[in-house]
Structure 1
Amino acid sequence: MGDQREAVIKVTGMTCDDCAHHVTAALRTAGAKEVSVHWSDGEAKFNWPEAVSENTLRSAVCEAGYGTGQLQVQGQRTPVSPGSENDYDLLVIGAGSAAFAVAIRASEAGYKVGLVESCEIGGTCVNVGCVPSKALLRAGEAAWSVEHNPFGGISASLDSVDLSKVVTQKQELVRSLRQTKYADLAGEYGFSVLHGHARFIGKDAIEVDGKPLTASRILIATGASPSVPPIPGLKENGFLTSTTTLELTEIPSRLVVIGANAIGVELGQYFLHLGSEVTFIDVADRIVPFEEPEISSALAEVLSSQGAAIYTGATVSEVSAGNGGRIVRLKQNGAAKEILVDQILVATGRRPNTSDLGLELAGVETDARGAVIVDDRLRTANEKVYAAGDVAGAPQFVYVSAYQGALAVDNALLGADRIVDFTALPRVIFSSPQVASAGITQAQAVAAGYDIVTSVLPLDAIPRALVNHDTNGLFKLVAESGSGKLLGASIMAESAGEVIQSAVLAIKYGIPVSELASTFHPYLTMAEGLKLAAQTFTRDVHKLSCCAV
């Protein structure tokens, strides 16, 4: 084919054959050859002349009224042949979600793979993250619901909470999933798990507890750990992290949570539900500051109604011992305040685990926070070393780590040229009610130059919420003006984490809000809120009958 390469580009916004024709014409005009567009798959395949720039291709599609996503060149790089003279074809430092996605994919392709883990196999999610925390959150919700239900004629009282039994049940779940979803898979797929501390000793070699090992490619997937701010007196007087909190077997009477983003809110509300007096402190001007302002406000109202105290725009200046507990001193708007507590939970973020890996010996660079610097194909400055997941500064979700792990294998071993694409990435805060979002917020859309319209629908307009007698929450949609393409969605409601998936698909495939408004949604489900929020762009849904279209 000479100066041409086979390529595939993701195209959003196509809904019919006419759309495919428009995109085909746009790419041909831009210089692409042998263009084949499939609107149902959301992609265009073509031969890409070297003289045509990527920007020219993308601009042509955008000018035709459609969006572009990942551009992948087929067969651009030579795959690594399995069975090299090295000890392994691929060595992975870490054994969490990214590492296992890597190991499974590479092993299935015939490569010899070794994972190196210095702690528990399974990484953050199954051991000290998603699984154990959500198990405890559910227990907290169950305890709270005993005495706090909205239905007349139903009353009950909670005799007691044996937190040690709750924690034991959580530990049993963790052990079971760690075995079946991680440990057992090594034998199933035929890759090795080496226990010990890994450290680079060269460009393509590491040592594990002093034993040198070589590999054709090496992937860093060591995750991240709780970050602790340098607050005077904090370390001396003791504190909890998102990890150690999960092992508490006694309910603290008074708890301060420093940091009110997702982790802080989830764990703080957990203890609130168990009966603790909880105070949230955050330096930002609102809790969950990366969500829409309407979400932050609504969630703060719920937490306050459940008894929490919230200080935003505040900094903790000192921690000391006194009066049978710990004294947390904070400043807010120039005013000083002291709070007496039994426990302090620090939830101020997580730092990548890159210390003592010998990265400098491999020529691998890190940023100011310690994250491994990678490009959009997850390559480091060393062509033989890749990084994926939390350690590479990615959004800290287990499904992102797994996605990046699989992508890294494709690029590092299989000769692919895949680019990381977080379009429509969903995120969930497992508060009660849940908060779920996808795409971009209103502020992000404006900053990106979009001309937008928004829709905000309170939960009292949604029949399911009325039936539940729980109208705390809202739906917010952000759409592009003119085309109506959904750019972002935010939901605070029961089962928001399930409902958001419909919005994820709409954002990914460029579906306009008019299509959401005219699509069937089952009555008396929270998912119907997405339809009603879409209808709100053009009409007052409060003036519609049930199920009216």
Structure 2
Amino acid sequence: MIELQVEGMTCGSCTEHVKQALEQVAGVRSASVSYPQGLAAIATDGHVDLEPLIAVVTALGYRARIADGSAGPFDQVPGWPGRETTQTGDEQSLHVAIIGSGGAAMAAALKAVEGGARVTLIERGTIGGTCVNVGCVPSKIMIRAAHVAHLRRESPFDAGLPATPPSVLRERLLAQQQGRVDELRHAKYENILESTPAITVLRGTARFRDGRTLSVELAEGGERIVAFDRCLVATGASPAIPPVPGLSGTPYWSSTEALVSDSIPKRLAVIGSSVVALELAQAFARLGSQVAILARHTLFFREDPAIGEALTAAFRLEDIEVLEQTQASQVAHANGEFVLTTNHGELRVDRLLVATGRTPNTQGMNLEAAGVQLDEHGAIQIDSGMRSSAPDIYAAGDCTNQPQFVYVAAAAGTRAAINMLGGEATLNLDAMPAVVFTDPQVATVGYSEVEAHHAGLETDSRTLSLDNVPRALANFDTRGFIKLVAEAGTGRLLGVQAVTPEAGEIIQTAAIAIHARMTVQELADQLFPYLTMVEGLKLAAQTFTKDVKQLSCCAG
């Protein structure tokens, strides 16, 4: 007879799962499991190694060890499954369950393992989440290809470098794009998980039974009960689809379908006026589509109005139709054509892309059973330490009320893991940079003027047009601006908004300046390399005290 101490069982049905698993081990005649005592008594037909017994119990999400007083080699084997210890060596390691496998989940899993925890990672779909599979990576590849196509068709240097309009072989571009996506998923997600013994991956759909137990409907069939000490929900978000009459019955695209389309439609309508809508609208236009954007208000209407105005002007120069204050009241599809009824008339196109935001993936998880509260948008409400309203349950990434950026998700996942293991890490988003990969790019950090006023701050702002930036002049591309928002009186930098080529390469310098609580004068006094776009920050800072048009080209 072998006796195992089994920890983590929460009800009588757990005992049945453990019993069934143990009786599947070769050489086991029968097993009797007691939930109140936390014991499993195993009758065998002869010698049975402890390793498979411990392994099957651990795979269920429980912790198992040889019961006190039982003989066997288990106690002499350091690091045996279910016997891992924390860094202090005084207690058994925590079992952390993580739902999801994207940026937040992976960062948390690796940090938790680093801290001595044992992790069960549960994924119902493709390993890697949104960013690497259907978001950041494929979209930026497509955007870059479209940028190259645009420059071959038209550039400021056409007089000396005559344009040669390209042939767009979408199938080959898509193969190249998907190849890099697969490569990064394997390298940064799948291979890491496979090579980290302390992480067990379960393929299936998780639901909370209570605040300490998950039920996982396995992809290959069957159910697995996973008991945890701590749990992180990192399930991401999905495209939000507006309730436009007729839309649901049509073959519309979300960003997911648009990114894997093997053809470029002749006519494309895009419903949406923010990041995903505008990035993909411009990419398709540059690859050959005739694009119309339906904006319910204006482009980027929640941002500084100058941003939307600058981008609208840039798009219209590329013959992208921007329909402001326009909504679709009806969508129909017949004979391979979409018909959109709008408040400004009828629009007929070959394809329709709906990109109106993303909805947190929190439905169907039975979060209420665990006491996890959601906000009005279905996002998990968390504090600065990524703690939900339920003890021992944390959340990070796009399924929460945090900004939906993968770098925010990863940072939140790391800090959640630290806190799950007893730490006190927080995530400060006061100087969070954001980038939109249109051309020109849009990049922001800190307060806009309106946001600063809402926060009770008086401001002093300056806007620098790019015809004052030497790099932009040398590029013969002066579209856009750089705007600095400072605190009145002190001159402390509060925020930066930039619409420029490569604005994403500028904004981190601004973020560091805000984090360091620099004044605009201190920023103006810094050395910036000449003929770089980031020099525009220095020039914008100088406008608070000087007329930069009266300075020499590289005046300090």
TM range (shorter): 0.7 to 0.9
The answer to whether residue 147 in structure 2 is matched with residue 141 in structure 1 is yes
Distance in 1 (alpha carbons) for counterparts of 2:88 and 2:392? 15
Aligned to 2:384: 376
Partner SS for 1:196: strand
2:509 is aligned to: 502
Task: Determine if the alignment matches structure 1 residue 366 to structure 2 residue 374.
Answer: yes
Q: Which residue matches 1:339?
A: 347
Cα separation, 2, equivalents of 1:402 and 1:107 = 15
Paired position in structure 1 for 2:117? 111
TM norm structure 1: 0.82
Q: Which residue of 2 aligns with 1:124?
A: 130
Name which structure has the greater RCO, CA cutoff 8 Å, separation 6+: 1
**Structure 1: which amino acid aligns with 2:116?**
G
Task: Give, in angstroms, the shift of residue 308 of structure 1.
Answer: 1.0
State the AA in 2 paired with 1:122.
G
Of residues 432-441 and 363-372 in structure 1, the stretch that sits farther from structure 2 once superposed is 363-372
Q: Which moved further from structure 2: 126-135 or 152-161?
A: 152-161
Q: CA deviation at 1:290?
A: 3.0
Displacement after TM superposition at 1:116 (Å): 0.3
In the TM superposition, what are the counterparts of 1:22-171 in structure 2 within 5 Å? 89-151=95-157, 152-171=159-178
Check conservation: 1:478, 1:489, Cα contact below 8 A.
yes
Alignment of 1:60-459 (within 5 A): 89-151=95-157, 152-190=159-197, 191-209=199-217, 210-284=223-297, 286-321=298-333, 325-331=337-343, 336-413=344-421, 415-459=422-466
C-alpha separation in 2, matches of 1:439 and 1:536: 19
- Distance in 2, matches of 1:518 and 1:118, equals 53
- Per-residue deviation, 1:379: 1.4
Pair 159,431 (structure 1): closer, same or farther in 2 beyond 3 Å = closer
Q: Equivalents in 2 of 1:510, 1:82: separation in Å?
A: 39
Partners in 2 of 1:87 and 1:110 — Cα distance? 6
Partner SS for 1:243: helix
Unaligned runs of 5+ in 2: 1-84, 218-222
Q: Secondary structure at the match of 1:173?
A: helix
Q: For residue 189 of structure 1, give the secondary structure of its aligned residue in structure 2.
A: coil
Question: What is the deviation of 1:420?
Answer: 2.9
In the alignment, residue 317 of structure 1 is paired with which amino acid? Answer: S
* Separation of aligned partners in 2, 1:289 and 1:313: 11
Q: Is the 8 A contact 1:82 1:110 kept in 2?
A: no
Offset of 1:109 from its aligned partner? Answer: 1.1
Q: Contact conserved, 2:93 with 2:116, CA < 8 A, in 1?
A: no
Q: 2:549 aligns with which of 538, 542, 548?
A: 542
Q: Given that residues 327 and 340 in structure 1 are in contact (C-alpha distance below 8 angstroms), is that contact kept between their aligned partners in structure 2?
A: yes
Q: Secondary structure at the match of 2:342?
A: strand
Percent same amino acid among aligned pairs?
A: 43
Render the CA deviation track for 1:167-199: whole Å, top value 9, x for unaligned.
111110010000000111123433122111111
Report the aligned-residue RMSD: 1.8
By how many angstroms is 1:377 displaced?
2.0
Select the residue among 458, 463, 468 that pairs with 1:461: 468
The structural deviation recorded for 1:87 is: 10
Q: Secondary structure at the match of 2:333?
A: strand
CA contact (8 A) 1:83 1:111 kept: no
SS class of match (1:392): coil
Paired residues of 2:360 and 2:378 also in contact (CA < 8 A)? yes
Secondary structure of the residue aligned to 2:231 is strand
Inter-partner Cα distance in structure 2 for 1:315 and 1:387: 35
Distance in 2, Cα, partners of 1:208 & 1:407: 26
Deviation string 1:266-310 (CA, Å, 9 cap, x unpaired) is: 0000011012111111212x2022332112111110001100111
- The superposition leaves residues 146-182 of structure 1 with CA deviations (integer Å, 9 ceiling, x where unpaired) of 0111112211322410101111111100100000001
How many residue pairs match? The answer is 465
CA deviation digits over 1:417-476, x for unaligned, max 9? 233310110000000111111111111011111111001001111110111011111100
Amino acid at match of 2:411: Y
Instruction: After superposing the two structures, state which structure 1 stretch, 126-135 or 178-187, moved more.
Output: 178-187
**How far apart, CA to CA, are the structure 2 residues paired with 1:102 and 1:377?**
13
Rounded Cα–Cα distance in structure 1 between residues aligned with 2:215 and 2:360: 20
User: Aligned partners of 1:122 and 1:155: how far apart in 2?
Assistant: 43
Distance 1:88 1:317 in 2: 53
- Highest Rg: 1 or 2? 2
Counterpart CA distance in 2 for 1:215 and 1:82 is: 20
1:86–1:124 CA distance, 2 compared to 1 (3 A): farther
Deviation at 1:312, TM superposition (A): 1.9
Give the distance between the partners of 1:82 and 1:316, measured in 2 at CA: 61
Residues 258 and 264, structure 1, Cα contact 8 Å, conserved in 2: yes
Shift of the alpha carbon at 1:88? 6.1
User: Could you tell me how far 1:324 is from its partner in structure 2?
Assistant: 5.3
Instruction: Verify the 8 A CA contact 1:87 1:214 in the aligned structure 2.
Output: no
Distance verdict in 2 for CA 1:258–1:85, change over 3 Å: farther
Shift of 1:368: 2.0
